[in-house]
């Protein structure tokens, strides 16, 4: 049956005790979301390709975590299906978090190329990182939640009818990362964003399709930031803050994004407060989508 929140108003945003898996958690959006979840009492496990970066991020996250919170990591190339399966198996084991209530797919890659100069190998790398890896993570973690976060009697997945929806109705939260470029193309020449825009448009529709597929108690939503000053953008954007914000002077917010701008939406979408929100995108974009 569909779940409806019946708890106290003061607990509706509470994620303490939850178990959160964050792909792309060794920097940028993923790392700051991991810090926020851990600070609010959720156990977290982060993944990315590089173990050295994961160790550094783990230490920073643990330093901001609430008392007793676990902060784990697992080196994983999410574009490889077998790696994601190993990651899933570790995350839900007693050595990992012992389960999964929240999945955040914050991995991403961008290389600007105009249509006439698109390199096929780089194109495939962008698609694999931004689309296929998200599908793998949602497939394996999302369906683990559906089959294991069950209140009451569980149906053995081995008895499922081929071509029919999952018989179990386990609960969970999945957050993908889209972009304002999911729905708004770059004006004035496009700035070489054909590959990136293509992948983010795909994430917009994948999120909607997964919300329908994993219903009724797994909510799948996306966060669509505007241009944001993350470590990946150092050297690509002006070093002076006022100059950077001048890029967005025509927006209602009159500035570009900061990493902190995704934290509120990520906490909301991980909590019971968003139980009736699924298949949609929250745009912490300073008004770009509504005015662009």
Residue 225 has pLDDT above 90, yes or no: yes
Strand 172-177 versus strand 102-105 pairing type: parallel
Under 8 Å CB-to-CB from 203, ≥6 apart: which residues?
130, 131, 134, 176, 177, 178, 179, 182, 222
CB 25 within 8 A of CB 34: yes
Please name the residue that has the structure tokens 């994993």.
Answer: 214
Using 50, 70 and 90 to split pLDDT, how confident is the model at 286?
very high
Domains and CATH numbers, the chain: 9-155+165-291 (3.40.50.720)
- pLDDT digit string, tens, across residues 40-68: 999 999 999 999 999 999 999 999 999 99
Helix, strand, or coil here: 8?
Answer: coil
How many beta carbons lie within 10 A of that of residue 5, not counting itself?
A: 14
Using 50, 70 and 90 to split pLDDT, how confident is the model at 118?
very high
Task: Give the global pTM.
Answer: 0.96
Of 45-59, 60-74, 138-152, 178-192, where does mean pLDDT reach its minimum?
A: 178-192
Residue 128 has pLDDT above 90, yes or no: yes
Residue 23 has pLDDT above 90, yes or no: yes
- pLDDT digit string, tens, across residues 239-268: 999 999 999 999 999 999 999 999 999 999
CB 275 within 8 A of CB 268: no
How many beta carbons lie within 10 A of that of residue 81, not counting itself?
A: 15
Report, as an integer, the average pLDDT of 211-217: 97
């Amino acid at each position: 049956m569909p779940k409806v929140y019946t708890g106290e108003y003061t607990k509706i945003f509470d994620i303490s005790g939850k178990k959160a898996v964050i792909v792309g958690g060794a920097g940028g959006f993923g790392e700051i979301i991991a810090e926020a979840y851990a600070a609010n009492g959720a156990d977290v496990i982060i993944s990315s390709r590089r173990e050295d970066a994961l160790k550094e991020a783990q230490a920073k996250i643990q330093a901001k975590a609430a008392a007793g919170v676990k902060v784990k990591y697992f080196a994983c190339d999410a574009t490889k299906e077998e790696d994601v399966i190993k990651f899933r198996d570790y995350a839900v084991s007693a050595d990992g978090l012992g389960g999964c209530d929240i999945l955040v797919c914050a991995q991403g890659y961008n290389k600007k190329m105009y249509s006439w100069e698109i390199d096929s190998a780089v194109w495939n790398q962008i698609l694999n990182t931004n689309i296929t890896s998200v599908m793998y993570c949602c497939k394996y973690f999302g369906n683990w939640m559906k089959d294991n976060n069950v209140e009451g009697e569980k149906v053995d997945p081995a008895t499922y009818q081929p071509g029919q929806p999952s018989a179990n109705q386990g609960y969970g939260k999945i957050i993908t990362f889209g972009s304002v470029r999911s729905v708004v193309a770059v004006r004035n020449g496009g700035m070489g964003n054909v590959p990136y825009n293509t992948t983010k448009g795909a994430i917009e529709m994948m999120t909607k399709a997964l919300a329908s597929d994993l219903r009724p108690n797994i909510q799948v939503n996306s966060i669509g930031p505007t241009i944001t000053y993350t470590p990946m953008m150092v050297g690509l954007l002006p070093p002076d803050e006022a100059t950077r914000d001048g890029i967005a002077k025509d927006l209602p917010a009159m500035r570009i994004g900061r990493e902190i701008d995704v934290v509120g939406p990520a906490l909301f979408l991980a909590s019971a407060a968003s139980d009736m929100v699924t298949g949609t995108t929250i745009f912490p974009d300073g008004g770009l989508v509504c005015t662009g």
